[in-house]
Structure 1
Amino acid sequence: MTRTEEFLTELDEGMLQYFREFADELVGRFGMSRAEAVARINAAYEGADIEPYPDLMCHEEPDYWAYGLYFLPKDGRSPHSGSVGDLTEWETRPAPPRDSHVWTLSE
């Protein structure tokens, strides 16, 4: 398990790839920069105890977690691909403050 300059949690190679796919989903689905995607992931998972691949979170595809980091929960639930139609119904979660240490990549 190692900690990279990118993510603020220790990940083995398999989970590092999973987290990078997670960031790719945020970039591809929601049009944010890679720096913002990584900052959102860091804000949510910094210091989390992530097991070697396949960690329990791997029972869902990275896009499932991406929706949860981009949208605020509504009525006790979070959207995920395949479960939502009109995404305009959902309020977006603000990005972490730009001066936060979770921004490990430059724009």
Structure 2
Amino acid sequence: MKLETLNFFDKVYEVAKRIPYGRVTSYGAIATYLGAARSARMVGYAMNGSHGKDVPAHRVVNRKGLLTGKHHFDGTNLMQQLLESEGVQVTENQIQDLQKVYWDPSKELD
């Protein structure tokens, strides 16, 4: 699917769908990749609206590795549980070894 023909939220979803299993990226990294570096918050809004769209929103965290979107998931710790099921270590709502599991779409795509 060509990103140029999609609206911003759909572009965000297409990038998020490419995040590899067991890896995470940040709202800002997706925004930067899409040429909207100052739109990390809009990426967050897109992730909030991604339910039912087969988007691995649990793999998108803030730049420090915090699970800031966790309250948008059903269940108490679903975001953390999904990440841990993929081998990502999370302690106190923060990704451990962020550099090891971090995926940068600007370096990995295109």
Q: TM-score, normalising length from structure 1?
A: 0.28
Largest Rg, 1 or 2: 1
